[in-house]
Amino acid sequence: MSSSSESNPGDARTLFGAFRQSASRQPDQIAMKADGGRGKTYTYAQLADLIGQVAAGLSRAELSGYREIGLLSENRPEWGIAYLAITAAGKTVVPIDANLKPAEMAYIIEHADLKAIFVSAKFEKILNERYDHLRLFTFDDDSPDFWLNIAAADTSTIPSEENQVAVLIFTSGTTGDPKAVQLTHRNLLANIAGIDPALPFGKDDTFLCVLPLHHTFEATCGFLVPLMSGSTIVYARSLKSNEIREDIAANSVTVMCGVPLLYEKLYHSVHRKIQSAPAPNRILFKVLFSLSGLGWKMGYKWGKLLFRSLRNKGGMDAMNMFVSGGAALPPNICRFFNLLGLDLLQGYGMTECSPVISVNRPDDIKFGSVGPPLSNVQISIEDPGEGGVGEILVKSDAVTPGYKDNPEETAQLIRDSWLYTGDLGYLRDGHLWITGRKKNLIVSAAGKNIYPEQIEEALLESPYIMETVVFGRAKESRQGEQVCAVIVPDLDQFKTGYGVSPGDPDMELINRVIGEEVARINSSMTDYKRVKDFRVQIEELEKTSTKKVRRFVYK
């Protein structure tokens, strides 16, 4: 990432000011490509001009009462234009998840007191039918108010400032009603400044935007970071694996951010192909994989050479790194991709921290860890117990000033200038390790702490288990909790191994095999950590829009 200290136009204390500095360094560089690289493209100069004009339009006197403005759209360049224009006009953008149900969408519109929303045509009709009071700014050219008549807009005044709330993000609400997280220009720019030395990017990098942009992880790491770095963003056509691979190959993508579920599915897909390959190919893969593992222990990334042809066949010859965030990534999956020569870097963050707190570096990867903290982030472990485990506290300029209109929750979140994450973990060799969520902790009859996330990691190493959620259940007439699990089988693996039809699965066979897998995994664990009861379900686990499992549903 280029240094923001260079002398360039624009005030780098605001998002648009920082972006204009970036645009001035490479005005003719392609900033965004729509539809997997097949659609409309914008250069940095075009983007800066368009954002400035829309911001000026939003600054007109008639819109002075619009303090918060919604943003509802599928991933596309115009989402980013609207986001930066709203913040440049001194207003607050409220990203809305395009997959929300009407009642969930209504909650955000009401609690953010929205009077106007930028929308794509896909959602215009839906909102018009439900809300009479909303003014809609539609992206498409045939809209009567297209881009606020931007052609005549005056771009001379951009009134935002660094401590102003730039974005209001409603959390996914895994345990109740979502909270509205406020992030200022200063918060977001501090996070970008911390990411810069950890993962430096530049004009030679191309990001593939896959995750929904309302997700803070993607908004910061897949949108703001590449724009401030002078990189190119390509918006993926869909979440279909084959189309993602095609988009990566067609655009020589070098970086992609994703959640663990995406990498888990890719892992299972590759694993099945390996198992179904002819015996000589399987043997060769195992030999090369073992060699790569040996090299890794010696500090060498031999996988980049050993599996070059495999990556080329998959259209990933230009790929430099995958970044995983949003939830815990099983260590075996992280190890698998790294030994194939694809840097898969696990990080850790939360919306309230803008969001990145720590991340593995390409030259310092430890499987299972979430990497060292960013250079401008302080981490403290409160009341460390056995193994140094305690609640993770964070201090940084990237930390939110609090939840909107919710002083009680804010007071619980931030105490004595430290943010209490609610996550448990420890520091070792400069890396942060997460053991689990404080509220998910299971306590045995003997008072032992059990971290369900660690048991889930062990279960997910089975090729027959696609997903699982582990939780504690109170024992009848006894103290403590016993470990229970809901398990989703990998039907494709059962088809390969046992000839099971995914359309009409043999549940008796599946339950027997899963039971054998659970018993095998239990045998390697201390007794009090063992899964005592489990249930198999074919349907995917219920998740939030950001692909986090709704744990409370299964307790």
The DSSP line for 102-123 is: HHHHHHHHHHTT-SEEEE-HHH
Amino acid letter, 93? V
Does residue 429 sit in helix, strand or coil?
A: coil
- Helix (H) and strand (E) counts in the chain: 18, 25
Please tell me the total number of residues recorded for the chain in this structure.
Answer: 555
Bridge partners, 232 (sequence order) = 206
Instruction: Centre a 10 Å sphere on the Cβ of residue 255 and count the other Cβ atoms it contains.
Output: 24
Angle, CA 28 vertex, CA 151 and CA 217 arms, to 5°: 85
Give the pair of three-digit tokens for residue 221. 């790491």
So what's the pLDDT on residue 409?
94
283 C-beta neighbours (distance < 10 Å), count: 11
Q: Could you say which of 3.90.1150.10, 3.40.50.720, 3.30.420.40, 3.40.50.12780 is the CATH number of the domain covering 15-240?
A: 3.40.50.12780
**Strand order of the sheet with strand 481-489?**
465-474, 481-489, 531-536
Nearest to 182 by CA among 197, 198, 167, 163: 167
Q: In the chain, which residues fall in CATH 3.30.300.30?
A: 441-553
CA distance 396 to 206: 29
Please report the pLDDT score of residue 265 as a whole number: 84
Instruction: Compute the distance between CA of residue 129 and CA of residue 400 in angstroms, rounded to an integer.
Output: 35
Please report the pLDDT score of residue 3 as a whole number.
Answer: 35
Tokens of 175: 């345990």
C-alpha span between 474 and 337 (Å, rounded): 38
DSSP letter (8 states) at residue 372: S
Phi, psi of 475 (to 5 degrees): -80, 145
Comparing CA positions, the residue from 210, 208, 219 lying closest to residue 253 is: 208
306/361 Cα distance (integer angstroms)? 22
Kindly report each contact of residues 357-364 with a partner whose C-beta sits within 8 Å and lies 24 or more positions away, as own/partner: 357/394, 357/396, 357/421, 357/432, 358/431, 358/432, 359/195, 359/198, 359/199, 359/323, 359/325, 360/431, 361/198, 361/199, 362/199, 362/320, 362/321, 364/431
- The count of other CB atoms within 10 Å of the CB of residue 313 is 11
Considering just the CA atoms, what is the radius of gyration of the chain in Å? 24
The model's pTM is 0.87
**Residues 6 or more apart from 310 whose CB is under 8 A from it?**
340
The domain 441-553 is placed in CATH, from the list 3.90.550.10, 3.40.640.10, 3.30.300.30, 3.40.50.720, at 3.30.300.30
Q: Where in the chain is the domain with CATH 3.40.50.12780?
A: 15-240, 259-438
Distance CA 8, CA 17 (A): 10
Q: How far is CA 537 from CA 253, 454, 488, in A?
A: 37, 21, 5
Residue 218 near residue 435 (C-beta atoms within 8 A): no
Nearest 10 degrees: Cα torsion 506, 508, 514, 517 = -120
Give the per-residue pLDDT at 477. Answer: 58
Along the 555 residues of the chain, how does pLDDT read in single tens digits? Answer: 333 333 334 568 999 999 999 999 999 999 999 999 999 999 999 999 999 888 988 888 888 889 999 999 999 999 999 999 999 999 999 999 988 888 888 899 999 999 999 999 888 888 888 888 898 998 876 554 555 555 445 555 555 688 999 999 998 655 556 799 999 999 999 999 999 999 999 999 999 999 999 999 999 999 999 999 999 999 999 988 889 989 999 999 999 999 998 898 888 888 888 888 899 999 999 999 999 999 999 999 999 999 999 899 888 999 999 999 988 898 999 999 999 999 999 999 999 999 999 999 999 999 999 999 999 999 999 999 889 999 999 999 999 999 999 999 999 999 999 999 999 999 999 999 999 988 888 988 778 889 999 999 999 999 999 999 999 988 775 677 899 999 999 999 999 889 999 999 999 999 999 999 999 999 999 999 999 999 999 999 998 777 788 888 887
Instruction: Reply yes or no: is the peptide bond before residue 27 cis, omega within 30 of 0.
Output: no
Q: Are strands 402-403 and 232-235 parallel, antiparallel or unpaired?
A: unpaired
Which superfamily does CATH assign the domain made up of 259-438 to? Answer: ANL, N-terminal domain (3.40.50.12780)
Residue type, 149: N
Query: What is the spatial distance between Cα 221 and Cα 421, in angstroms, rounded to a whole number?
Result: 20
**Assigned token pair, 327:** 């939830």
Residue 39, judged by CB atoms within 10 A of its CB (0-12, 13-18, 19+), counts as middle
* End-to-end CA gap in the chain: 44
